[in-house]
Amino acid sequence: MRVRVTLRSPFGPVVTRDISGGIWVEPAGEPDAHVGRESWALPGLADAHSHLAGEHITDPGDVEGAIERARDALAAGVTLLLDKGWRDTTTIDAIRQTPSIERPEVEAAGAIISVLDGYFSGFGRVIDPGDIGAAVESEARRGLGWVKLVGDWPRRGIGPVANFDASQLREAVSSADAAGAKVAIHTMAPEVPGLAVRAGVHSIEHGLFLSEEDLEVLGARGGMWVPTVLRVEETIKQLGETSSGGRLLSEGLQNVCRLLPHAVEAGVRVLAGSDLVGAPADIAGEAVRLAELGLSARHAVKAVGFAAFEATGRSTGFDPGSPANAVLFPDNPVAAIGVLGSPTTVIRLGVLR
């Protein structure tokens, strides 16, 4: 059956494409069906900080659960996931067992890299900081395009401590670049974001204490920032707003709200990430919250439905020859951002759902 789709993007011209062999092609002849004429289209939603392997950080890896979460994400309109690692390679194993047409496109880190006492006990790969280059090279080979570092972590009675210094972060980036992978770094403390940005780290996760100067440097190279604001708010609740950790994260969240408009002006790819608040299928809620906290509706929609595709070199304009992926909405999400949670049609590799 030949299907024709009208694709009206909030960020580009209206185009009409046919689907053939799972890719977009120029219209030809009379189609058997024509969809999308009353809809608005994005290339899909993107979760740029997902963890398919579990629902809670204490969970062991669950391949079957990861497969189910990936399928649920696609049903909700997510066509791209950037999975930022787990204690092991559960996500990678799950993706390799799931046909592409049944799940989003996925880029993923393997085991998260930290140091002794530098993350949840027993989670991921614990290394000597001096061995970071070899560890990153090894994880880049196991991963699907990403390596994840824990840049800082609180120590009891001390507060947040950096796990790696500037030279070690530069070595990590160099090793990842040589292996064709990108580096993402967890950082919620004040000292590490600037070090990571200047070391060339590709994606700053959380980044509560980025500065305007950091954003200028990050934006100049089209770097990524995934603020995960719902995750930060949930962690503040868990710690208690009056605890030392809660107060620090609240201060950081205020900084994020202040910097969001400046980040997009500086050219930073601001991306939406679920980070175990709900599931990747719930990523629309992160975009809504970003808009509530100061990001314009236009850029909040880009954060969840455009910027991650651009940042990873994927088509956003439904170009002929590109994968036939799209998600359709009844209204323009820039004007009514809540519709992101209610797609009418999901198209993955030419199959309508």
Domain ranges of the chain: 1-43+316-353, 44-314
| pTM across the whole model | 0.97
> What is the pLDDT confidence band of residue 328, given thresholds at 50, 70 and 90?
very high
Q: How many Cβ atoms are within 10 Å of 322's Cβ, its own excluded?
A: 16
Query: Which architecture does CATH list for 1-43+316-353?
Result: Roll (2.30)
What are the residue ranges of helices labelled H in 43-165?
63-75, 90-97, 132-142
Query: Which architecture does CATH list for 44-314?
Result: Alpha-Beta Barrel (3.20)
Q: How far is residue 316 CA from its own chain's centroid?
A: 16
Q: pLDDT at residue 336 above 90?
A: yes
> What is the pLDDT confidence band of residue 12, given thresholds at 50, 70 and 90?
very high
Query: What φ, ψ does residue 75 adopt, rounded to 5°?
Result: -60, -30
Cα(276)–Cα(115) distance, rounded to whole angstroms? 22
Q: Which residue has the tokens 């393997």?
A: 110
| C-alpha pair distances (Å), 293 with each of 88, 228, 241, 289, 344 | 34, 12, 18, 6, 27
Confidence (pLDDT) at 247: 97
Q: pLDDT at residue 157 above 90?
A: no
> What is the pLDDT confidence band of residue 58, given thresholds at 50, 70 and 90?
confident
CB 140 within 8 A of CB 109: no
Q: Which residue has the tokens 């069906």?
A: 33
CB 238 within 8 A of CB 250: no
